[in-house]
């Protein structure tokens, strides 16, 4: 053995995990540590993300690196905690949720200077487990990895996935499944539910400290205001309006938009029962527990607004000493949600239709809205595949409408629509950058996860590779762009917290 420290050893010694959250918000942080993993085995490592974080992929693949990834061997000074939060779940308030099976290991300072949470999911029961086993199975953790990285590649703000490590522990669900830990990063894990929890302590100082911490990390412009809390609220309203507009534009259904699953940063979080639309129908719901369709695709903007109203209620005492004035401020800020969402969605729809202002006459907002509306009516009537139909528009703009006709052909409105849209000279390059070829289609994700659970990681590798450049068609990857057969699509369901 050499006495010179290897690169791996030097990284482990130089890695620093700060404990900003634990220091700033002790009322929301329970010191805790990960359960040991009997036989940790790295299943996937996101080398690109490791690089962005200044982490050495070689080290992370080494036994010491894998020990770090399951929380077994942390750098000196790390203070892992389980985070407390509350939440409105399907409309009902739960005052005490929190990380039941997750841990914040600490924060990393990335080479770009940003602070990133390093967080584990499936690391054993915490004081917030409420009878749950604190564990996670390989399939669902790989699912979060695939979905979150696909969202990132689509340009949508999201928590990121650094790695999935099989623990060697069995997890009992309907059957015994192999257990895993997901290692994820986020600009923070502060949620609407974090503020609701702080309010629920009845201690205004705790509420104020959460708000100040969120401002410092996510909306620093609010700090300069005479009363900063409404500034934070406005920042969250805007970030969430923009985020949900982007979900809608790619056909993403979060599936469980409880207030504990909504960040203050505006990053998508907690990929449980989420899925992408295939056949276009605003009422689409995949989650097995969402029997009322509360979190259906088309409801998402309304639910986001509802969740933001819960955030405002939790923050009210910091808006103004006088309740009436506080409510007025909250309503004023919340009123920004609808126009902001509409504007973000309209700007995105303009790109999806290739109608950005070019050299010629600009197409009016009303005309874009009318064209988008008619197209969605056709999509719904034909139950056409959302992703591939939009992608076929660029070929149609180039003169080959075969794909579009295959999807919408026979619809009485199609010919008229095509003529009117083409008259605006839509730009296919703009469309190709806005309409993905590849999204994580439900049947492909399930196929890759089933293989991975059996020990074959190859389909997952292909899927993540194709999804990493979603706007570029690859030869040989045609099946990743195609919808599932009707048998699969009809009965598809997703599951929460598995």
Residues making contact with ligand AMP (CB under 6 A):
97-102, 125, 128-129, 132-135, 256, 260-261, 270, 272, 496-497
- 42 versus 102: smaller Cβ distance to Mg ion: 102
Kindly write out the interface string for residues 233-262 of this chain, putting x where it contacts Mg ion by CB under 5 A and - elsewhere: ----------------------------x-
The two three-digit tokens of residue 283, written as one number: 């009422």
Cβ pair 370, 355 in contact under 8 A: no
CB of 454 to Mg ion, least distance (A): 28
**Angstrom distance (rounded) from CA 253 to CA 298:** 9
Closest alpha carbon to 260 in 84, 132, 115: 84
Tell me, by CB under 5 A, how many residues bind Mg ion: 2
The entry of Mg ion, ligand AMP, none that residue 153 binds, CB within 5 to 8 Å by partner kind: none
CB of 67 to Mg ion, least distance (A): 26
Q: Which is nearer to Mg ion, 270 or 290 (CB)?
A: 270
**CA dihedral for 236, 237, 242, 244, sign (positive or negative):** positive
Can you name the residues that pair with 28 across neighbouring β-strands? Answer: none
Which candidate, 332, 340, 146, places its Cα nearest to that of 241?
340
Question: Rounded to an integer, what distance in angstroms lies between the CA atom of residue 157 and that of residue 186?
Answer: 10
User: Cβ of residue 261: shortest distance to Mg ion, in angstroms?
Assistant: 5
Q: Which residues contact 29 (CB under 8 A, 6 or more apart)?
A: 21, 22, 81, 82, 83, 84, 104
Q: Which of residues 308-367 bind Mg ion (CB under 5 A)?
A: none
Q: How far is the CB of 85 from ligand AMP (least distance, A)?
A: 7
* Residue 260 designated active-site: yes
Rounded to 5°, angle at Cα 341 from 270 and 322: 90
- Do residues 94 and 86 lie in contact, with contact meaning Cβ atoms separated by under 8 Å? yes
Site for Mg ion in 265-294 (CB under 5 A): 270
- Comparing CB distances to ligand AMP, the nearer of 147 and 279 is 147
φ, ψ for residue 100, nearest 5 deg:
-80, -25
- Closest contact distance (angstroms) between CB of 157 and Mg ion is 17
- Assess 196 for contact with Mg ion (CB under 5 A): no
Q: Which of 30, 31, 108 is nearest to 68 (CA)?
A: 108
Give, to the nearest 10 degrees, the angle between helix 337-352 and helix 365-382. Answer: 80
Cβ at position 97, least distance to Mg ion in Å: 8
Nearer to Mg ion, 263 or 464 (CB): 263
In the complex with Mg ion, which residue's Cβ is closer, 184 or 345?
Answer: 184
Q: Which does 97 bind (CB under 5 to 8 A by kind): ligand AMP, Mg ion, none?
A: ligand AMP
Task: Rank residues 126 and 261 by Cβ distance to Mg ion and give the closer one.
Answer: 261
453 in Cβ contact with 43 (< 8 Å): no
Min dist. Cβ of residue 171 to ligand AMP (A): 8
Round to whole Å and give the CA distance between 28 and 185. 19
Q: Which of 35, 260, 385, 432 is catalytic?
A: 260
Phi, psi (degrees; rounded to nearest 5) at 365: -55, -40
Q: Is the distance from CB of 337 to CB of 300 less than 8 angstroms?
A: no
Give 228 or 272: the residue with its C-beta nearer to Mg ion: 272
Closer to ligand AMP by CB, 433 or 496: give it. Answer: 496
**Which does residue 184 touch among Mg ion, ligand AMP, none (CB within 5 to 8 A, set by kind)?**
none
- The CB-of-269 to Mg ion minimum distance in angstroms stands at 7
DSSP states along 180-249: EEEEEEES---BHHHHHHHHHTT-HHHHHHHHHHHHHHH-GGGGGSSSHHHHHHHHHHHHHHHHHHHHHH
Q: Interface with Mg ion by CB under 5 A: which residues?
A: 261, 270
User: What are the catalytic residues?
Assistant: 260
């Amino acid at each position: 053995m050499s006495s010179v420290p290897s690169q791996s050893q030097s990284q482990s010694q130089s890695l620093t995990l700060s404990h900003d959250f634990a220091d700033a918000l002790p009322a929301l942080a329970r010191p805790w540590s990960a359960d040991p993993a009997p036989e940790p085995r790295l299943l996937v490592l996101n080398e690109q993300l490791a690089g962005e974080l200044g982490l050495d992929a070689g080290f992370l693949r080494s036994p010491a690196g894998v020990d770090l990834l399951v929380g077994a061997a942390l750098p000196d000074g790390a203070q892992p905690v389980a985070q407390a939060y509350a939440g409105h779940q399907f409309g009902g308030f739960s005052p005490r949720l929190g990380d039941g099976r997750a841990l914040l290991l600490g924060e990393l300072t990335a080479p770009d200077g940003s602070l990133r949470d390093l967080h584990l999911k499936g690391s054993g029961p915490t004081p917030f487990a409420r009878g749950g086993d604190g564990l996670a199975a390989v399939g669902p953790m790989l699912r979060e990895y695939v979905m979150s990285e696909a969202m990132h590649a689509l340009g949508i703000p999201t928590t990121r996935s650094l790695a999935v490590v099989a623990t060697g522990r069995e997890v009992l669900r309907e059957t015994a499944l192999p257990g895993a830990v997901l290692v994820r990063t986020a600009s923070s894990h502060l949620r609407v539910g974090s503020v609701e929890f702080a309010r629920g302590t009845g201690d205004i100082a705790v509420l104020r400290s959460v708000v100040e911490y969120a401002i410092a990390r996510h909306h620093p412009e609010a700090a300069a205001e005479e009363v900063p809390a409404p500034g934070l609220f406005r920042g969250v309203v805007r970030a969430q309006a923009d985020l949900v507009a982007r979900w809608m534009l790619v056909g993403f259904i979060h599936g469980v938009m409880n207030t504990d699953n909504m960040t203050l940063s505006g990053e998508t979080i907690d990929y449980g029962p989420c899925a992408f639309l295939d056949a276009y129908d605003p009422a689409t719901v995949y989650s097995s527990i969402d029997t009322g369709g509360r979190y259906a695709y088309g409801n998402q903007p309304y639910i986001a607004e509802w969740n933001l109203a819960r955030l405002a209620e939790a923050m009210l005492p910091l808006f103004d000493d006088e309740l009436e004035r506080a409510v007025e401020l909250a309503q004023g800020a919340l009123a920004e949600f609808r126009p902001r969402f509409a504007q973000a969605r309209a700007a995105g729809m303009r790109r999806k239709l290739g109608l950005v202002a070019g050299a010629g006459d600009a197409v009016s907002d009303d005309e874009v809205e009318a064209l988008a509306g008619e197209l969605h009516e056709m999509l719904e009537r034909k139950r056409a595949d959302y992703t591939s139909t939009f992608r076929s528009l660029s070929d149609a703009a180039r003169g080959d409408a075969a794909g579009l006709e295959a999807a919408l052909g026979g619809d009485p409105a199609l010919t008229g629509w095509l003529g009117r849209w083409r008259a605006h000279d839509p730009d296919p390059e703009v469309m190709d950058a806005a309409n993905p070829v590849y999204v994580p289609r439900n049947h492909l994700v399930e196929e890759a996860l089933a293989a991975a659970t059996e020990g074959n990681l190859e389909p997952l590798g292909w899927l993540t590779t194709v999804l990493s450049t979603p706007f570029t068609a690859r030869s040989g990857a045609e099946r990743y762009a195609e919808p599932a057969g009707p048998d699969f699509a009809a009965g598809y369901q997703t599951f929460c917290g598995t």
